[in-house]
A = this chain, B = another copy of it.
Amino acid sequence: MTIDKGPVVAHGPAMIGLKLDDRDLKILSILSREGRLSKADLAKRVNLSPTPLWERLKRLEKAGVIRGYSADISLKGVAPHIEVFVTLELENHRAESFQAFEQSMGRHDEIVACWAIGGGFDYVLQIITRDIDSYQRLIDTLLDGKVGLARYYTYVVTKPVKLRGAPPLEFLLDGARPDGPADGSGD
Nearest CB in chain B: distance from A10 CB, A:
5
A143 at the binding interface (Cβ < 8 Å):
no
User: Could you jot down 16 A-B contacts, CB within 8 Å?
Assistant: A9-B162, A12-B74, A12-B78, A31-B70, A33-B70, A64-B77, A66-B74, A106-B162, A109-B179, A113-B163, A115-B158, A116-B157, A116-B158, A118-B158, A124-B155, A130-B175
Nearest CB in chain B: distance from A53 CB, A:
14
Which of B3, B109, B160 interacts with A165 by CB under 8 Å?
B109
- Is A168's CB under 8 angstroms from B110's CB? yes
Measured in the bound complex, the distance between the Cα atoms of B109 and A168 in whole Å is 5
- Is B172's CB under 8 angstroms from A9's CB? no
> A-side interface residues toward B, CB under 8 Å?
3, 5, 7-18, 20, 28, 31-36, 63-81, 83, 85, 87, 102, 105-121, 123-124, 126, 128-130, 137, 153-173, 175, 178-182
* Consensus secondary structure, chain A interface: loop
- Is A72's CB under 8 angstroms from B76's CB? no
Measured in the bound complex, the distance between the Cα atoms of B113 and A85 in whole Å is 13
- Is B109's CB under 8 angstroms from A171's CB? yes
Which of B76, B115, B180 interacts with A157 by CB under 8 Å?
B115
- Is A32's CB under 8 angstroms from B65's CB? no
Measured in the bound complex, the distance between the Cα atoms of B182 and A3 in whole Å is 9
- Is B173's CB under 8 angstroms from A105's CB? no
